Chain A
Amino acid sequence: DGGITQSPKYLFRKEGQNVTLSCEQNLNHDAMYWYRQDPGQGLRLIYYSQIVNDFQKGDIAEGYSVSREKKESFPLTVTSAQKNPTAFYLCASRNRGREDTQYFGPGTRLTVL
């Protein structure tokens, strides 16, 4: 099946620990995105990457880091510098073309205790 996978679905971590969220896509899309969603809120862009080995900060990049070593993969690390990391994290991908549609993964719910 073509699509975007995120793992794990639920993640619990202790305060002060770094944690890495996985995002993989087999849609052959060039661009990938990470969003954060808090309860009852909209989506806020953390980082995005338009091509391998390149990425840009979004609106709320502080306390997060990413890498894009492969086209299929765009992992997000939530560092201990992120003051309020408990949230729902969504990964997405998109490709320029006639129908420039963005697709989302199922999300990871991160809880920091």
Chain B
Amino acid sequence: GIQVEQSPPDLILQEGANSTLRCNFSDSVNNLQWFHQNPWGQLINLFYIPSGTKQNGRLSATTVATERYSLLYISSSQTTDSGVYFCAADMGGSNYKLTFGKGTLLTVNP
């Protein structure tokens, strides 16, 4: 099956800083999503982005499908951005299940 690798595993920022999280995947994808897990465990979908670029406020994401990677940009970070960011992908077809990366733990200090 598809392999999903995320980097860096941990990231510590001061409030107001910008950051880039990376997701590499081993095969062509039909679906790629970014999620944020807050400190209480709730997972929120940030982007559905199998290709192209999307922006939502201070967050944006870009997937370059031909080169098999996706980037999540966080600008002007806030303490509420802290948590774990997961990338997940699938190749489509009959196995309709996402494979998750191990996540990036982001800590934003005030």
Contacts and interface: CB of A to CB of B under 8 A. Distances in A.
Interface of A: 31, 33, 37, 41-43, 45, 48, 50, 58, 88, 90, 92, 94, 96, 99-104, 106-107, 109
Q: Tell which of B35, B42, B97 has the most Cβ of chain A within 10 Å.
A: B97
B96 A50 contact: yes
B100 interface: yes
B57 interface: no
A37 B96 CA distance: 20
Contact of B42 (A43, A58, A106): A106
A1 B46 CA distance: 19
Contact of A102 (B30, B33, B103): B33
Given A106-B42, A107-B42, A94 B100 contact: no
Contacts of B110: none
A107 B33 contact: no
12 contacts: A42-B103, A45-B97, A48-B96, A48-B97, A90-B41, A92-B43, A96-B96, A101-B33, A102-B33, A104-B35, A104-B43, A104-B44
